[in-house]
Amino acid sequence: MPSFDNIPDTVSFPDEERNILNLWDQLDAFKTSLKMSEGKPEYTFYDGPPFATGLPHYGHILAGTIKDIVTRYAHQTGHHVIRRFGWDCHGLPIEFEIDNKLGISGRDDVLKMGIDKYNAECRSIVMRYSKEWESIVKRLGRWIDFENDYKTLDPSFMESVWWVFKQLFEKDLVYRGYKVMPYSTGCTTPLSNFEANLNYKDVSDPAIIVSFPLLSDPETSLLAWTTTPWTLPSNFALCVNPELDYVKIRDKEKNKMWIVAETRICSLYKETQKDAYEILQKLKGKDMVGWEYTPLFEYFAGMRASHGAFRVLADGFVTDDSGTGVVHCAPAFGEDDFRVCQVANIVRKGESVVCPVDDAGKFTEAVPQYTGRHVKECDDDIKRELKNKGRLIHSGTIVHSYPYCWRSETPLIYKAVPSWFVKVENLKERLLANNLQSYWVPNFVQEKRFHNWLQDARDWCISRNRYWGTPLPLWVSDDYAEMVCVGSIEELERLTGQKFDDIHRDKIDHVTIPSQRGPQFGVLKRVDEVFDCWFESGSMPYGQIHYPFENQDLFQKGFPADFIAEGLDQTRGWFYTLLVISTALFDKPPFKNLIVNGLVLAADGKKMSKRLKNYPDPIDVVNEFGADAVRLYLINSPVVRAEPLKFQKAGVRDVVKDVFLPWFNAYRFLVQNVTRLELETGARFTPDVNASKKSGNVMDKWIQAVANSLIAFVREEMSKYRLYTVVPRLISFLEQLTNWYVRLNRLRLKGSVSPQDCELALATLYDVLLTVVKTMAPFTPFLTEFMYQNLKKVLPDAHPDKLDCVHYLEFPQAREDAIDPRIEEAVSRMQRVIDLARNVRERCHVSFKIPCKEVIIVNKDQGFLRDVQDLQAYVQSELNVRKVTLVEKESDFVTLRAQPDNKALGKRLGKEFAGVAKAIKELSHEQIANFEASGEITILNHKLGAGDVQVLREFKGGRANMEAAWDGSVLVVLDVSEDEELKNEGFAREVINRVQKLRKKAKLNIDDDVEVFYQVSGPVLKSVVNQFQGLIASAVRVPLLDVSQKPAQAVVLISESDEVANAKLTVTIAVTGVAFNDKSLEAKFGSHGAKFVDGVKTTLCCYDINRLRAHVSANQKSVRFELDGQNVELVHGVDFFFGAGEKDKLSA
């Protein structure tokens, strides 16, 4: 019985993957692998938590694949790798869905409904797609623990978040303050600065210039420019740059006096309108400080007397690159506005900021004319009112990049809100230092993008005026003079005398803590806010294992994490929050190694959109091509270098066609030929790891050298997390294995040389295939498992590589004694020669089936020529050439031409370059050859070296039927002339091709016992078949027999006609059956009549041919039976034969 299971001609990778998933389920493979690795060094991995309110997209699949590869590799290299999935359960994504579902537009709606009911609605959708996530992640081959997942809504996780916050609070890194923040009116909450940077869009906004008449000179107005007319009702000051030059001008047509920056007159007049105005006065910005003006609206007119509003301030943030050089300041809606007004005491500490806009972005009753309307809706009406007042000087539009809420897709506004902040600016130096302690791939993201973000880091707003989240554990007095920060559930229970199994808002908002100052001071109440969900995800290293309340030893051994990976968009998200919190807590980076992937875009380069349906469903692609194909397509792309990828379904198909199918065919070829060898020898195939050492075949040694060099390379590069170098090298190796080793050694592997050589070749191929399966296992877990389950069957039971699952095996170690750079170089040189000659054939349209007379290889390097000579048999066979000629003297075939390096020499020689360049181009062949030998040449008194002059080689030509190709170091010249003999051999190879195609079409295995018959219509083709009978028989492994020799009772499997050499060729494949010597049978049994003779034939044909062979062998070539009362004895080789081919051979 064959050692290997039979492998069909075709394979459905998705179907086989589903079979592998069933196998893994039966083995409980992931858990088993974890159990097997217990006690080994821990490798800590953090998985960033996604929301389960939507389904995974290609970005998730990409990041998940990278994580799976690295953690599988870590396991295979001797580590215990806990992999827990996590879920982000709080925050805007969930609340936004509930707000839309219930029609909630603001705080009052939630309070009217009740926070308990609102949170219950949120909780109900948190894990909506969790089962789908688990199914998809599993289908993609990722091994990660869903049973012991962590959720940010778990009390244990939330308690760790409280602990983190208390550490920051006690280190005086937390404060409450008014700050102008990016604010989402769609989600009614402030956002952090990095959230505001997540979703910029190009939009068209108003761009207007308005006038502010001076109290001291009402005929003169300062002009300010703004793109947010809705902020003008809240204007409290104007700001100029103290050092800029300003001018007072008179508009001649309107007879109005205006003040703008001198360089910004262009905002009012075109270059051709200089006669439309006159400059009356020049002054510096600092000269105008303190000037008072008439406000646009009377809503807050009292602010002049009470706070000194409506005057000119000066600050360096004002520039003259746009607008008028005068900035209108609405301190409630601009960060710089707030700052300069605070310095001017218009905004005062301890007082609320005047802000006539509510949480939903609508004007309050403080602006009665627009009360209840969203601010962005009022722009046109405000412009109209200003025009009616004569204060609108210019109205236009501007297209600019503007931030939108990443969740609600509504435009952000900037709004002063009371919030809780972490003092990131105090940590800036430590953040920069700790960033340098981690290793990022690619490093430019760390050194540029992330470094720059840290360099400009601002205090982090960690609070949200929302409901579904981890509540801030702060209990405060009404005047905020007394604050208690709670760091655990036990502490809260001790302070309140109550028990808690849940600490969401609806469970603890009502809880008070007695004032430590005495009963007369009342009680402390919890602040309204909850944590930003980014604070929770940044706390996941602690929350996922309930640190420090549990698992202290586990945390201390595994922190910082060995590895994390996410997309480029997390540079200002998760990567940042992890670093801020770990730096604040421990002054350490939170991870040692990080892979940053780029964004996966739709095929048109746009963002993938469910609404636009501009990308194929991931599961549809997996079901069509397989998960391994999707994985390999993604990780063999620019996206692993943090560059964008335009997803192409055709790219996944190409992975199957160009990588998996050749790999599968090499594996199938091994199985077929091992089965054939076992049937021929009767001995079980036992692979010998030292086969390549015993073999004298250079290709056996070469493929082992390449395989072990690959292992060494993968180990080195994976230690540096450079998937972008590893994956191309793996794919390149598969091409070397399938397209070079197997193809160049097909005859050896089929046993055409000798049984001993065949066994060595098969053992080499087996060892290399098993090695590549183990090496590729982290990258393509399904296909490697599929192959391994069959490959392991020939291994002894005690062999370390014979386990239940390929993913239990250790990653292979490179065998240093097998690595041979010289052999690799020699074969590489041969490959270059073959590739160049192939190019010539293709360019000249010379079929590979027609032999060429000669190939000439020209190279002045004797070592190069020796390498090709040693491998000359492969060159001849692969190129189908009769003769290989090696030429060291280049001048017979090559013309040398020199060309200057224009950039290098032009810069160095200046005006003299032109003359030198001309002289370089005029150098003779001998001069250039001498330059190459010496490495230098003097031209027009300038000594030039190798970097200054480029030497080009060109085929001289002028030789009949000779065509050439050149790759920069070797010239290959091919004789493409044809004669009758060469053409006829080409026709013979066409015949071979037709037979092989027919065998494949009939789905025949290599060991199927068949005979091949032919019929031709023309004398030329008949002559070709007769002349090259040996070549054809050697290739198709059976003689090609004339159709007239086909037994009448033959069972035909397939028959087809085709055209070869302008003649009709019919090929018929039949099952090998009994053939008869009609003359002998007639002589023996003719007296009994024709019917009796036919009965003899029919009786013998009823025998199974293999049993008949065994019977004949045991009974000295005779078969005896009784027919119609007559004894019949038939002699093998006289009366009958095993097939027409044997009859033809023995009869001859």
User: Phi and psi of 1069, rounded to 5°?
Assistant: -110, 125
The CA–CA distances, whole Å, from 812 to 259, 687, 761, 778 equal 77, 17, 21, 12
CA distance 1054 to 637: 44
Buried b (16+ CB within 10 A) or exposed e, 251-267: eeeeebbbbbbeebbeb
**C-beta atoms surrounding 79 within 10 Å:** 17
CA distance 876 to 132: 57
The active-site residue out of 31, 35, 389, 610 is 610
Instruction: At 477, list the tokens.
Output: 């007095």
Residue 764: CB partners within 8 Å, gap ≥ 6? 691, 692, 695, 700, 703, 704
Is there a contact between 224 and 210 (Cβ–Cβ < 8 Å)?
Answer: yes
- Active-site residue, 258 included: no
- Active-site residue, 133 included: no
Decide: residue 957, CB within 10 A, 0-12 exposed, 13-18 middle, 19+ buried.
Answer: exposed
Is there a contact between 374 and 368 (Cβ–Cβ < 8 Å)?
Answer: no
Instruction: At 273, list the tokens.
Output: 């309108």
Sign of CA dihedral 795, 800, 805, 806: negative
Crossing angle (nearest 10°) for helices 115-126 and 92-102: 110
- Active-site residue, 607 included: yes
The active-site residue out of 101, 607, 657, 907 is 607
**C-beta atoms surrounding 979 within 10 Å:** 9
Q: Label the pairing between strands 949-955 and 1074-1076.
A: unpaired
User: Phi and psi of 363, rounded to 5°?
Assistant: -65, 140
- Active-site residue, 997 included: no
Q: What angle do CA 521, 525, 529 make, to 5 degrees?
A: 145
Q: Match 């005690």 to its residue by tokens.
A: 798
CA distance 17 to 784: 10
CA distance 329 to 335: 10
- Of 890, 885, 886, give the one whose Cα is nearest residue 952: 890
Crossing angle (nearest 10°) for helices 872-879 and 821-844: 30
The active-site residue out of 87, 143, 475, 574 is 574
955 bridge partner residues? 894
SS3 content of the chain, % helix, strand, coil (to 5): 45, 20, 30
CA distance 212 to 296: 7
**Peptide bond just before 473 cis, omega within 30 deg:** no
Instruction: At 733, list the tokens.
Output: 């190796």
Is there a contact between 710 and 782 (Cβ–Cβ < 8 Å)?
Answer: no
The active-site residue out of 88, 562, 628, 975 is 88
Helix (H, G, I), strand (E, B) or coil at 799: coil
CA distance 1145 to 773: 45
Which letter does DSSP use for residue 214 in this model? Answer: B
- Active-site residue, 87 included: no
The active-site residue out of 133, 291, 534, 702 is 534
CA distance 368 to 81: 63
Element (H, E) at 943: strand 942-945
- Active-site residue, 704 included: no
- Of 752, 750, 761, give the one whose Cα is nearest residue 675: 750
Q: What angle do CA 227, 231, 234 make, to 5 degrees?
A: 150
Residue 1058: CB partners within 8 Å, gap ≥ 6? 994, 1064, 1065, 1067
- Of 924, 905, 925, give the one whose Cα is nearest residue 915: 905
Buried b (16+ CB within 10 A) or exposed e, 930-949: ebeeeeebebeebebeeebb
The active-site residue out of 49, 93, 190, 403 is 49
- Active-site residue, 460 included: no
Letter for the amino acid at 66?
A: I
Q: Which amino acids are annotated catalytic?
A: 49, 88, 534, 570, 574, 607, 610
